């Protein structure tokens, strides 16, 4: 699963869509998320390094993070990430 911060979604005027069945969520550090459930998603063009594709991103509160890319995307594309440069 991939996630986008609601603030980023709103600042970029991305069109939101309602989920048929909301997801109950907890944060990656096992604490409860402030919004408690995900009810919306966006379909957005994502570019990470050489990989460019349209992704479904679930809208939630990510604090100071813009986006969380899920394991399946990372496993499939195995991007080369320079953690020190943020690239």
Residue 85 located in a structural domain: no
Question: d(Cα 25, Cα 74) in Å, to the nearest integer?
Answer: 21
Of the listed ranges 46-55, 65-74, 76-85, the one predicted with least confidence: 76-85
How many domains does one find in the chain? Answer: 1
% of the chain beyond a pLDDT of 90: 30
- pTM, two decimals, is 0.78
- Per-residue pLDDT at 4 exceeds 90: yes
DSSP code for 30: S
What digits encode the pLDDT tens for the residues 11-46?
Answer: 988 889 999 999 888 887 888 878 889 999 999 888
Q: Within a domain: residue 84?
A: no
Rounded CA separation 19/54 (Å): 18
Residue 42's domain comprises: 3-77
């Amino acid at each position: 699963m991939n996630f986008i911060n609601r603030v980023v979604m709103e600042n970029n005027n991305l069109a939101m869509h309602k989920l048929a069945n909301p997801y109950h969520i907890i944060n990656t550090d096992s604490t409860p998320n402030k919004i408690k459930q995900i009810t919306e998603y966006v379909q957005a063009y994502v570019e990470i390094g050489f990989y460019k594709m349209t992704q479904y991103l679930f809208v939630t509160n990510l604090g100071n993070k813009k986006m969380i890319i899920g394991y399946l995307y990372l496993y499939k594309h195995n991007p080369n990430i320079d953690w020190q440069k943020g690239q």
